[in-house]
Structure 1
Amino acid sequence: MNSTSLMAMAERFLGALKHCQILQMRVTHADAEGMTLILPWSQRIVGNPQTGAVHGGALTTLLDTTCGMATLCALPRFEVCPTLDLRIDYMHPAEQGKDIFGHAQCYRVTRDVIFTRGSAYQDDPARPICQVVGTFMRLGHDVRGGIDFGSRLEEGEA
């Protein structure tokens, strides 16, 4: 899949996730090497109003979504891949008023599981706010008993 069609599919996928719409997350980059999303700074992601610290749930949402969407970069076709496990190591708090980027890549794909890793950062990817590793279950292209969401994404209907 070329980068242009991958970006389009990623944008449709992200647009179908209501919680990501509320947080105004956007795709900034998608290619065979991985996925990058942006979580714009806003007061709604602040978890501690006294310090301005970002809520861990907002960072978890960014990284789970980024890692999950990185599966699009590693697979030849869309597959439903729910999160099996997600581990986040927090390094330091985010700076107030600055957007947060999430980047993830798949480093191993097996018949049943996809392994991902990534980080959240603001100005410098070499200075992550937190790092993440995640595993995602492969359910296959066709989902039995429900809508084949993958075909809808590939066809631009989502």
Structure 2
Amino acid sequence: MNIGNEKDALTQMASRFVEQLTQCRKLKLAVLEGSGSHVLMELPYDKQLVGYPDTGVIHGGVITTLMDTASGCAVVCSIFDKFGLLEISPTLDLRVDYMKPAEPHKPVYGYAQCYKLSSSVAFTRAIAYQDSIDDPIAHAVGSFMRISPEMVGEEFRQALMGSDNEQ
């Protein structure tokens, strides 16, 4: 990648990863920060995502999607940062513990960390929150399969790596 510093490069790669996923485009998920250890994403409030019309609360499935995507994205960034390889890493298992509903009309943030990479599995933890990471909406732990870089299609690789003309 021909992009400024490595943190910016990982943020841009994470953004491209999210842009490749149809459900993420529909939800308008945005990567705010990507690094070799974590990803921070934003889910903007949209009344179409409400699960309970009387309350305006975002459906829990959307929060799960946010944390699953942030976690998978953290895995992609961690592997690339550590090994210089682009791997796809589908979700093997994701456990979500909900603590409270999201407040209506406010964005939700998803912070995910890839804390362990084995030869075949990556392990993550994530938090969904609004005003403070110390006041979570939900916690998640996940495991993701590591699939060989050779299995990444060239079109997907190009989409994530970006063009050589980027600054």
After TM superposition, the score normalised by the length of structure 2 is 0.87
1:59 counterpart residue number: 63
1:6–1:72 CA contact under 8 A, matched in 2: no
Question: For 1:131, which of 116, 124, 139 is the aligned residue?
Answer: 139
Deviations for 1:8-32, whole angstroms, at most 9, x for unmatched residues? Answer: 1111111111111111110011112
- Structure 2 residues not aligned, in runs of 5+: none
Q: 1:63/1:149 Cα in 2 relative to 1: closer, same or farther (>3 Å)?
A: farther
2:73 counterpart residue number: 69
RMSD: 1.6
1:111 counterpart residue number: 119
User: What is the CA–CA distance in structure 2 between the aligned matches of 1:140 and 1:149, rounded to whole Å?
Assistant: 16
**Percent of matched pairs sharing the same residue:** 40
Deviations for 1:40-69, whole angstroms, at most 9, x for unmatched residues? Answer: 001011100012221111111101100000
- Structure 1 residues not aligned, in runs of 5+: none
- Report the residue type matching 2:37 in the other structure: E
1:155 counterpart residue number: 161
- Report the residue type matching 1:110 in the other structure: S
How far is the alpha carbon of 1:85 from its aligned partner?
A: 0.2
| Secondary structure, counterpart of 1:142 in structure 2 | helix
- Report the residue type matching 1:40 in the other structure: P
Matched, 1:78 2:86: yes
Q: 1:64/1:4 Cα in 2 relative to 1: closer, same or farther (>3 Å)?
A: same
